[in-house]
């Protein structure tokens, strides 16, 4: 056997990783997966490669070497992108970017990075819970106005609120953007704890979504969202699951005897952690290729967990359930 690998000091390890991050323009890496268009000197925008969407919400900043999706919340740097999009391990991603063998990380550094990651996750969850606690019940607010504009006449559940919520918050610097009226949707884990929120930012009159002059998404997520769901109904043995709040409200109104839950986007439909009481789930997907793929993946995941899965889709003329309710053909 060879001699044990030498463990790098923390400063040298961080320098190695930073050099890997800076070696390539991030847009060249991301551009293999989605078409990017310039918006400013160093910024580019395109459709998110992590979830299905029709309006570009995925931003790449070559100056900072970072990306962020305002739709699903994905963000990071070149290493993160290779890990999450191309399935590489952290070590492999660094080696690919730098073209050098990756050094061994010390146990102390590994423990420190884990502690830092856990602290950041707690901070994100605390931020989401603060947004939730600051919001108010939906009845009589612009949240109700927005729901009515989407054809929803049924009362909104207690897991849907209204508040004035910033669209931008930087936990590292403390920078906070201006507040906008927003529907605040609670995201709960299997135990029922609020771990995140999805905010639907509204126009001043509440009759539609906010339209950013920069083309940003009207829906933004905060907190920990993977595994969590919007509970529009109680925990039950049978759940109807959809990909977003508007479709959830639609089926909640259409199926008052069923418990309807919503994921935080198509890509997360298969990632919901179901409480032990749930025995079967009908996945009601969007009527397009991405929606059918998401339902197929969700059914497979449910089967693997011992649940009885089913599926449903709106009529062929409509993209989703809310479009059908409003008579908006695809």
- Per-residue pLDDT of the chain (330 residues), as tens digits, is 343 444 555 666 677 788 888 878 888 889 888 889 988 767 899 999 888 778 888 999 988 889 999 888 889 999 999 888 888 888 788 878 877 555 555 677 768 877 887 888 899 999 999 999 999 999 999 999 999 999 999 999 999 999 999 988 888 788 888 899 999 999 999 999 999 999 999 999 999 999 877 667 889 999 988 899 999 999 999 999 999 999 999 999 999 999 999 998 888 899 999 999 999 999 999 999 889 999 999 999 999 999 999 999 999 999 999 999 999 987
Same structural domain for residues 213 and 304?
no
**Stretch (H or E) spanning 321:** helix 321-326
In whole angstroms, give the CA distance from residue 64 to residue 197.
27
Same structural domain for residues 176 and 261?
no
Same structural domain for residues 255 and 321?
yes
Paired tokens of 285: 């997907």
CA 18 to chain centre: 26
What pLDDT does residue 10 have? 61
Instruction: Please give the model's pTM, rounded to 2 decimal places.
Output: 0.69
Same structural domain for residues 101 and 49?
yes
Of 225, 248, 267, the residue that ends a domain is 225
**What residues pair up with 183 in beta bridges, in sequence order?**
162, 200
125 inside domain? no
Same structural domain for residues 219 and 241?
no
How many separate domains does the chain show?
3
Of 316, 292, 51, 260, which Cα lies nearest the Cα of 300? 292
Same structural domain for residues 92 and 163?
no
20 inside domain? yes
What pLDDT does residue 101 have? 56
Neighbours of 38 (CB within 10 A): 12
- CATH, residue 251: 3.40.1360.10
181 inside domain? yes
Please give the order of strands across the beta sheet that includes 280-284.
230-231, 259-262, 238-242, 280-284, 308-312
**Residue 186, domain extent:** 136-225
Paired tokens of 172: 């590292």
Same structural domain for residues 20 and 86?
yes
Same structural domain for residues 209 and 244?
no
Same structural domain for residues 16 and 64?
yes
In whole angstroms, give the CA distance from residue 80 to residue 317.
39
Q: Residue 290 in 3-state DSSP?
A: helix
Which backbone phi and psi does 206 adopt, to 5 degrees? 80, -5
Residue pair 263/244 in contact (Cβ under 8 Å)? The answer is yes
Of 190, 225, 260, the residue that ends a domain is 225
Of 177, 202, 225, the residue that ends a domain is 225
Same structural domain for residues 221 and 238?
no
Same structural domain for residues 61 and 89?
yes
């Amino acid at each position: 056997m060879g001699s044990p690998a030498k463990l790098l000091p923390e400063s040298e390890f961080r320098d190695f990783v930073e050099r890997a991050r800076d070696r390539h323009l991030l847009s060249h890496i991301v551009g293999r997966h989605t078409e990017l268009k310039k918006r400013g000197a160093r910024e580019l925008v395109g459709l998110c490669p992590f979830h299905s969407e029709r309006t570009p919400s995925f931003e790449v900043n070559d100056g900072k070497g970072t990306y962020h999706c305002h739709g699903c919340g994905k963000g990071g740097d070149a290493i993160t992108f290779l890990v999450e999009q191309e399935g590489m391990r952290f070590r492999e991603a660094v080696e690919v970017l730098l073209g050098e063998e990756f050094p061994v990380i010390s146990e102390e550094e590994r423990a420190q990075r884990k502690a830092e990651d856990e602290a950041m996750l707690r901070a994100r969850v605390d931020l989401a819970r603060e947004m939730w606690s600051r919001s108010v019940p939906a009845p009589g607010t612009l949240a109700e106005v927005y729901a009515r504009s989407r054809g929803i006449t049924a009362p909104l559940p207690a897991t849907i609120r209204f508040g004035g919520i910033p669209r931008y918050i930087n936990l590292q610097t403390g920078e906070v953007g201006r507040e906008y009226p927003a529907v605040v949707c609670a995201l709960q884990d299997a135990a029922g704890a609020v771990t995140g929120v999805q905010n639907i930012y509204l126009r001043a009159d509440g009759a539609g979504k906010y339209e950013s002059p920069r083309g940003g998404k009207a829906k933004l997520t905060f907190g920990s969202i993977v595994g969590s769901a919007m509970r529009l109904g109680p925990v039950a043995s049978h759940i109807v699951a959809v990909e977003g709040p508007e479709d959830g409200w639609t089926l909640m109104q259409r199926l008052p005897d069923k418990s309807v839950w919503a994921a935080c986007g198509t890509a997360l439909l298969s990632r919901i952690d179901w409480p032990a009481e749930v025995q079967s789930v009908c996945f009601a997907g969007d009527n397009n290729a991405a929606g059918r793929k998401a339902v197929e993946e969700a059914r497979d995941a449910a089967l693997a967990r011992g649940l009885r899965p089913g599926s449903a889709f709106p009529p062929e003329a409509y993209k989703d359930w809310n479009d059908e309710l409003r008579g908006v053909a695809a």
